[in-house]
Amino acid sequence: MRILVTGGAGYIGSVSVEALVEAGHEVTVLDDLTTGFRGAVSPAARLEVGTYGDTAAVAALLVRDRIDAVLHCAAKSLVGESMVDPAKYFRENVAGGIALLEALRTTGVRRIVFSSTAATYGMPERTPITESDPVQPINAYGETKRCVESAITWYGRGYGLRSVILRYFNAAGASKACGEQHNPETHLIPAVLLACEQGRDMTLFGEDYATPDGTCVRDYIHVSDLARAHMLALEATDPANTLTGPPSGPCEPLICNLGSGTGFSNRQIVAAAERVTGRPIPVKIGPRRLGDPAVLVASAQRAHEKLGWEPGLGTLEEIIGSAWEWRRSHPAGYPD
Ligand code: UFG
C-alpha cells in the first residue's frame, strides 16, 4: 500500500511509520515539525514538511505519491493545554482535520485511519469503557477529536469514505529507534523518568480522586502495539473488507478502543518506574490538573474481535522499561 502518515515525525506516528516500512509499505510522511522531529522519521519514508491543513497542498501530495490510504496521527494532543488554549485545538484539530478530509474527497482517496482518543468519553459511567458508551468529553482536546470523528462519519455516509477510528488510551514506551520526546514534557511516564534522571521530585496532580490511592488511573498501551493496530486498521479500509462498509456507497466507521484493559494509578506508575530504574523517585502532590478524568480504562474486546488485535507488550515494566532504554540510548534525544 502507498500510505500518507500525517504526524509521522511525532511519537506515535514515527513508531507506526517504522512498522509500516518494515512491513513493505511505501510511506510518505506529512509533518510540520512543530512538535515532531526530522530524526524520528524512518529513512525509508519520504518526508514532506508542511501542514495537513492546506487542502490544495495535501491534494497535490495525494496525487503525486498516488496514495491509497491515509493514517491521520497529526494533532495537538495535550489535555491541559487544550483547557487554557481551546482555540488552538479547534483551529488545528478541527479546521485542519476538515481541510485534510477535503483533500481526500477532492482527489477520490477513500481510506482513512484516524487517531482518536479515550478523552472523547469524558467522565465514563462505567469501567472498562466500551465503544458504545456515551461520548461526552470534559476537555477541549477530547471535544475536538469528537468533532473530527463526526466529520469522518458523515463523509462516510455522504461520499463513501471508508474509515477506522482508533480511540487510544495512554500510549507509552518506545521502539528501539523511536521514543517519546516533548518539550515541555507533560506526559506521566516520560515526566517520571525525567525527574528520575534529574534527581528531583515528581509532582503528581491531585490525590483526592475517587480511586484506590486517590491518584488518577490510566490504561497504558505500548506504542508498538498501537503501530500494529494501525496496520490492521489500514487493511480493514480495503474496499473488499466489509468491516468498513460495502465495496461502494455509504459507509460507517469502525470504531475501536486501543487499550490493555488494565488500569494503573499515577502512584503505581512512579513505583514501577522506581523498580525499572532502580532509583528512588520521591513524590510531591500538587493540585489537580484541569480536565483530568479520574479513571480511563478500555475494553479492547472489539479491536480483538474485528481486527484480531491484542496488546502483546503489555506489562507495565516492559512498557516503562522500553521508554527507559530509549532514553538511555538517546541521552540527547533526537539530533534535531
Ligand atoms: N500527571 C501527573 N504529573 C505529571 C504529568 C501527568 O500527575 O507531571 C498525571 C495526570 O494528571 C494524569 C496522568 O498523570 O492523571 C496521565 O497524564 P498524561 O498527561 O500522561 O496523559 P492523559 O491521560 O492526560 O492524556 C493521554 C494523552 C491524550 C489521550 C489520553 C487518553 O495525552 O492524548 O491519554 O487517556 F487522550
| Structural domains of the chain, with CATH | 2-171+222-258 (3.40.50.720), 188-217+261-329 (3.90.25.10)
- Residue identified by cell 491521520 is 72
For residue 289, the CA-to-ligand 1 centroid distance in Å is: 9
For residue 187, the CA-to-ligand 1 centroid distance in Å is: 5
Please tell me whether the peptide bond between 293 and the residue prior to it is cis, using omega within 30 degrees of 0: no
Atom from ligand 1 closest to the CA of residue 118? 31
82 in Cβ contact with 76 (< 8 Å): yes
User: Is the distance from the beta carbon of residue 182 to the nearest atom of ligand 1 less than 6 Å?
Assistant: no
pLDDT in tens, 201-230: 999 999 999 999 999 999 999 999 999 999
Burial (0-12, 13-18, 19+ Cβ within 10 Å), 222: buried
Q: Name the phi and psi angles at 30, rounded to 5.
A: -115, 120
User: Is the distance from the beta carbon of residue 284 to the nearest atom of ligand 1 less than 6 Å?
Assistant: no
User: Is the distance from the beta carbon of residue 296 to the nearest atom of ligand 1 less than 6 Å?
Assistant: yes
User: Is the distance from the beta carbon of residue 257 to the nearest atom of ligand 1 less than 6 Å?
Assistant: no
Q: What is the rounded average pLDDT of the residues 63-88?
A: 97
Atom from ligand 1 closest to the CA of residue 170? 34
**Whether pLDDT at 294 is above 90:** yes
Q: pTM for this structure?
A: 0.96
Burial (0-12, 13-18, 19+ Cβ within 10 Å), 182: middle
Closest by CA to 235, choosing from 111, 325, 324, is 111
C-alpha cell, 276:
525499572
Q: Name the phi and psi angles at 21, rounded to 5.
A: -70, -35
> Known catalytic residue: 141?
yes
Crossing angle of helices 96-107 and 140-159, rounded to 10°: 20
Atom from ligand 1 closest to the CA of residue 269? 14
Residue 50's pLDDT band (boundaries 50, 70, 90)? very high
Residue 251's pLDDT band (boundaries 50, 70, 90)? very high
